[in-house]
Amino acid sequence: MDKTYATPAAFDRALKKAAKTAGNNLGEAYRQALRDRFLCRVFHDGNEGFVLKGAGGMLARVPNARATRDLDFAVAGHAGIDQVLAEMERIASIDLNDWCSFRLTKSEESMDENGYSRLLKLRFASFVGMEEKDPILIDLSLDCVMTRPPERITPANRIDVEGLETCDYLIYPLADQLADKFCAIMEVQPGGHPSSRMKDLVDVVTYATSECFELSQLRHAITSECVKRGMTMPKRFDAPESWRERFAGFATKNRVVEEFASFDEASNLASKLFDAALSDESEDDLVWNPGDLCWSVRPV
């Protein structure tokens, strides 16, 4: 099949034009456009083998969320490392007639920051024609447990380039993503040290101000994540006090709305969101309302 654009240079110009039109930081938007070409291969033809999670999944929901240069995936189902690598290389090599190509240059088995999930850390060199671009860096979780089916969505952060074949993304369930962030913030680290994952409070604020989700699903996801980590279910949400002095600058840098850029306001919002899920007295049929920033009865 013929390429959508006659030459790599013509395609690259179209990418840059689309990135500029998007009105974002040009370099960031260009990188996002290339990541989208990779992700369209991952999810091509309805592929369900991998699920996008982390900041990449958040940006697909909320395009003004904090930026990231990495992609986080969960393996859907059970597969050995060799099988996972072979499948990722296969889908990365799919030709979408766009002059992009991706070549695996590094793979390393590791553990996630919390020490609970096995990871494959992958590096794909990316090319437009023969010109090498920024690499695609991937953390691939091998043993994530989802309490809900993943969601297939059209990414809100897509940089639209005329004439290209695109695919929807398969996204990690929102309740499970929030539960992971809740536990990452609350969990005491070895030696009794508090969590250092301040970015997770930023992400909680982003979700709370933009997304709807059901209380029953969030409660179930938090319970499941606490069991996985061997954590006692907390009675209430508390962000580490050690974050107080640094949070405002970090939040502003990472696009948190001004109203919640202070440690107290962000923590209070997160408490309002999570504490209902930790209480036995809250009704299961409540839904989070991001407009009013409160739990409300599900509309009939």
Q: Which of 171, 202, 217 is the last residue of a domain?
A: 171
Tens-place pLDDT, residues 168-195 = 999 999 999 999 999 999 998 877 789 9
At residue 247, the pLDDT reads: 97
At residue 115, the pLDDT reads: 66
Same domain, 40 and 158: yes
Q: Is residue 1 part of a domain?
A: no
Q: Is residue 2 part of a domain?
A: no
pLDDT reading at 300 higher than 70:
no
Range of the domain at 201: 174-297
Same domain, 198 and 72: no
Same domain, 105 and 127: yes
Residue 57 and residue 51: Cα distance in Å, rounded? 9
Q: Which residue has the higher pLDDT, 281 or 212?
A: 212
Q: Which residue has the higher pLDDT, 141 or 283?
A: 141
At residue 114, the pLDDT reads: 64
Same domain, 267 and 129: no
Q: Which of 148, 171, 194 is the last residue of a domain?
A: 171
Of 108, 88, 106, 86, the C-alpha closest to 38 is 88
Mean pLDDT for 190-201 is 89
Measured N-to-C along each axis, helices 81-92 and 26-42 cross at an angle, to the nearest 10 degrees, of: 110
Q: CA 29, 133, 152 angle in degrees (round to 5)?
A: 50
Tell if the pTM clears 0.75, that is, is over it: yes
pLDDT reading at 1 higher than 70:
no
Same domain, 22 and 126: yes
Same domain, 191 and 82: no
Q: Into how many domains does the chain fold?
A: 2
Same domain, 192 and 155: no
pLDDT reading at 127 higher than 90:
yes
Query: DSSP letters of 166-186?
Result: --PEEE--HHHHHHHHHHHHH
At residue 112, the pLDDT reads: 73
Q: Which of 141, 171, 201 is the last residue of a domain?
A: 171
Tens-place pLDDT, residues 69-116 = 899 999 987 778 899 999 999 999 999 999 999 999 999 998 776 666
Looking at every residue in the chain, the average pLDDT score rounds to 93
Same domain, 253 and 286: yes
pLDDT reading at 276 higher than 60:
yes
Q: Is residue 17 part of a domain?
A: yes
Same domain, 104 and 184: no
Q: How far is CA 37 from CA 3, 41, 102, 137, in A?
A: 14, 7, 10, 14
